């Protein structure tokens, strides 16, 4: 027993130095890892601050306000070493360090810089640290050299607050104590001033001909859009154009999506025109219970940025999103099978669809941005173009222009067994907006927005015009109709189907033309919110989540010329 104990003591004595070394190595590794994390966090703080905000702009802080404030020397002269060891840095060392001033071994060896000293107190599982940040202005040479700020430099004054250069070098040193010695860990980076992009030219045209949405019986939002168009052209340090077209698009909030002909293209490089075709389709496996549509077409025009002149199409060849046939009711939207609808409404088909008597209209656009009669025959149309001319062009110099056009054939709401074409019919005969900035003085102008929509309802024997909505409409004519008492036949009233509806008035259209910028926004020519259409055995008025919202004829344009 005594012999065994002796052998064990000999082994422990032999292994003890290795155990001590292992414990020390683990402690060192932990301290170094924590120190590097603190240093990296300090650098990220610097990177996330603006490089420079003018004093006149207000009380907004930038990286120089914290890390290169002024030329005031430290309140306490630094003593970098105590004997052969590093001395703990003091907050009083914070301040400007001139090119010839005393500096520590972990700080820049040459050139002026600004020192900040920040203690980091210990926390649970975290050691105490001291963070010393040395910030220098750097030149644009290779390699960069330290730049001394001009006399009077002070970020806290309107005079002398301009940076000495457009980039800084930052050295973050984190000091920690290990076995009675102060040890440093340093990280260095460069931070450059990001130049603000100056917009010289910008133009866009946006169309949403039809938007409809509701919820499924399971409470999942469902939507259908038709005639979607977005064109954007811009010139900053470079020229760019983007065209996004979607003839139809259906979606469920579960993430399921489907659509008709669509395209998203951009330049540079320049692109020639193309056509995308798609056949009839539906959203999901529910047939036309939710959303379906007929054949569609997307006409992608020529795109160019040659000479810094954004160009997307033209009046003779515009960008277009089109619904071209009546398969699947043309467009069809519902929020459940017909059997789920309230029986008193006597609905016989999807709640929103193309009128069976609808006819096509030409999709063309005139040079003055008006819906034309030429082009592909379409039931739902979104068209537009963006064009820019050079300031030195012989004809039409210095022009930035955008155009958006929309139209829909008659849409049918609430087809019933006694009114198969629908209780309500909506036709957007035309809608267009045009924004333009032209001439050497960059004169902004907007054409008066042009639109016309006709809303009709079934009165039991024929269709009655409820409203003709145009750009001159100042009072909404739909609001004068008493939904509760307006009969629609077979013992029903408009209020049984329509919860609210509205026509666009002139005061709701946004127009602006000043200082080289033009803008027009038409938020929707006709909007309708239905009553609940699905039955609910516990609620006499039906499932409140089964209302349907419909917006017809939303479009906008803008143009800016600051060349």
Q: Is 379 helix (H, G, I), strand (E, B) or coil?
A: coil
pLDDT top residue among 96 and 8 = 96
Give 396's pLDDT tier (boundaries 50, 70, 90): confident
pLDDT at 23 over 60: no
User: What secondary structure does DSSP assign to 26-51, as a single string?
Assistant: HHHHHHHHHHHHHHHHHHHHHHTS-S
Residue 392: pLDDT band (50, 70, 90) is: confident
Tens-digit pLDDT profile for residues 99-154: 999 999 999 999 999 999 999 998 887 889 999 999 999 998 989 999 999 999 99
Distance CA 315, CA 471 (A): 22
Is residue 286 pLDDT above 70, yes or no? no
Mean pLDDT (whole number) for 372-389: 95
Answer whether 517's CB lies under 8 Å from 558's CB: yes
- The pTM for the full model equals 0.70
**Distance (Å, whole) CA 329 – CA 350:** 9
pLDDT score for 397: 83
Structure tokens, 127: 């050691």
Distance CA 364, CA 443 (A): 28
Please state the rounded mean pLDDT for residues 38-53: 91
Give residue-wise pLDDT tens across range 442-454.
999 999 999 999 9
Mean pLDDT of 516-542: 95
Q: Alpha carbon 19 to chain centroid distance?
A: 58
Higher pLDDT, 556 or 193: 556
Instruction: Specify the long-range contacts of residues 474-479, CB closer than 8 Å, at least 24 apart.
Output: 474/505, 474/506, 474/507, 475/505, 476/502, 476/503, 476/504, 476/505, 477/503, 478/502, 478/503
Task: Give Cα 511 distance to the centre of its chain.
Answer: 22
For Cα atoms 63, 101, 157, give the angle at the middle one, nearest 5 degrees.
35
Token reading at 372: 């034309």
Q: What is the pLDDT of residue 142?
A: 87
Q: How confident is the model at residue 340 (pLDDT cuts 50, 70, 90)?
A: very high
Non-local CB neighbours of 151 within 8 Å, separated by 6+ positions: 71
Report the length, in residues, of the chain: 563
Which pLDDT band, with edges at 50, 70 and 90, does 21 fall under?
Answer: very low
Residue-wise pLDDT tens digits, 213-265:
999 999 999 999 999 999 999 998 789 999 999 999 999 999 999 999 999 99
**Which single residue is written with the structure tokens 């190595």?**
25
CA 287, chain centre distance (Å): 33
pLDDT for residue 414: 97
User: In the chain, what are the helix, strand and coil shares in percent, each to the nearest 5?
Assistant: 15, 45, 40
> Looking at residue 19, what is its pLDDT?
47
Token duo for residue 430: 């035309």
Does residue 22 have a pLDDT over 60?
no
Average model confidence (pLDDT) for the chain? Answer: 92
Helices and strands (H and E) in the chain: how many: 3, 37
DSSP string, 381-419: EEEEEEEE--TT-SSS-SEEEEEEEEEEEEEEE--BSS-
* pLDDT tier at 26, thresholds 50, 70, 90: low
| DSSP helix/strand/coil, 196 | coil
Per-residue pLDDT band at 27 (split at 50, 70, 90): low
Residue 158 has pLDDT above 90, yes or no: no
Tokens of 413: 């709401």
Quick one: tokens of 450?
A: 């042009």
Q: Give tens-digit pLDDT for 129-142.
A: 999 999 999 998 98
> What number is the average pLDDT over the span 76-96?
93
Is there a contact between 502 and 478 (Cβ–Cβ < 8 Å)? Answer: yes
Is the separation of the CB atoms in 117 and 132 below 8 Å?
yes
Report the alpha-carbon distance of residue 304 to residue 273 in Å, rounded.
Answer: 11
Q: In the predicted model, is pLDDT for residue 268 greater than 80?
A: yes
pLDDT number for residue 32: 87
> Is 9 or 478 the better-scoring residue by pLDDT?
478
Residues 372-384, mean pLDDT to the nearest whole number: 95
Who wins on pLDDT, 157 or 279?
Answer: 279
Q: What is the DSSP letter of 548?
A: -
């Amino acid at each position: 027993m005594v012999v065994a104990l002796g052998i064990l003591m000999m082994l422990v004595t032999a292994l003890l130095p290795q155990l001590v070394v292992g414990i020390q190595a683990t402690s060192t590794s932990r301290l170094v890892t924590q120190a590097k994390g603190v240093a990296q966090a300090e650098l990220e703080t610097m990177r996330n601050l603006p490089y420079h905000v003018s004093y006149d702009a207000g009380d907004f802080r930038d990286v120089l306000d914290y890390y290169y404030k002024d030329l005031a020397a430290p309140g306490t002269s630094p003593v970098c070493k105590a004997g052969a060891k590093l001395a703990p840095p003091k907050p009083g060392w914070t301040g400007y360090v001139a090119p010839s001033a005393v500096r520590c071994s972990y700080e820049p060896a040459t050139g002026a810089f600004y020192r900040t000293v920040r203690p980091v107190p210990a926390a649970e599982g975290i050691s105490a640290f001291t963070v010393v940040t040395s910030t220098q202005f750097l030149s644009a040479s290779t390699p960069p050299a330290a730049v001394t700020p001009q006399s009077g430099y002070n970020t806290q004054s309107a005079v002398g607050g301009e940076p000495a250069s457009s980039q800084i070098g930052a050295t973050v040193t984190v000091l920690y104590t290990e076995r009675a010695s102060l040890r440093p860990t340093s990280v260095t980076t460069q931070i450059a001033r990001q130049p603000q992009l100056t917009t010289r030219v910008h133009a866009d045209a946006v169309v949403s001909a039809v938007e409809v949405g509701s919820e499924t019986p399971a409470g999942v939002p469902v939507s259908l859009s038709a005639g979607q168009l977005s064109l954007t052209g811009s010139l900053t340090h470079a020229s760019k154009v983007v065209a996004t077209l979607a003839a139809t698009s259906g979606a469920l909030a579960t993430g399921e999506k489907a659509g008709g002909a669509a395209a998203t293209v951009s330049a540079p490089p320049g692109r020639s025109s193309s056509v995308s075709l798609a056949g009839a389709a539906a959203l999901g496996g529910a047939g036309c219970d939710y959303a379906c549509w007929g054949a569609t077409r997307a006409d992608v025009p020529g795109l160019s940025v040659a000479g810094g002149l954004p160009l997307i199409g033209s009046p003779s060849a515009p960008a277009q999103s089109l619904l071209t046939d009546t398969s699947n009711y043309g467009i069809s939207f519902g929020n459940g099978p017909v059997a789920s609808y309230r029986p008193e409404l006597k609905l016989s088909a999807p709640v929103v669809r193309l009128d069976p008597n609808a006819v096509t209209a030409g999709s063309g656009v005139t040079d003055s941005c008006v819906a034309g009669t030429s082009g592909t025959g379409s039931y739902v149309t979104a068209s537009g173009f963006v064009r820019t001319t050079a300031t030195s062009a012989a004809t039409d110099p210095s022009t930035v222009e955008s155009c958006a056009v929309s139209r829909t054939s008659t849409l049918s709401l609430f087809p019933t067994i006694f009114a198969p074409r629908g209780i309500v019919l909506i036709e957007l005969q035309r809608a267009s907006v045009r924004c333009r900035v032209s001439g050497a003085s960059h004169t902004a102008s907007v054409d008066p927005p042009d639109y016309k929509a006709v809303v009709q309802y079934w009165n039991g024997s024929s269709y009655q015009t409820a409203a003709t909505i145009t750009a001159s409409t100042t009072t909404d004519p739909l609001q004068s109709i008493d939904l509760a008492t307006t009969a629609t036949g077979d013992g029903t009233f408009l209020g049984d189907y329509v919860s609210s509806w509205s026509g666009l008035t002139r005061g709701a259209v946004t127009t602006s033309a000043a200082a080289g910028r033009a803008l027009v926004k038409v938020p929707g020519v006709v909007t309708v919110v239905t009553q609940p259409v699905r039955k609910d055995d516990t609620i006499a008025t039906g499932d409140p989540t089964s209302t349907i919202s419909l917006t017809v004829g939303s479009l906008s344009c803008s143009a800016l010329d600051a060349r």
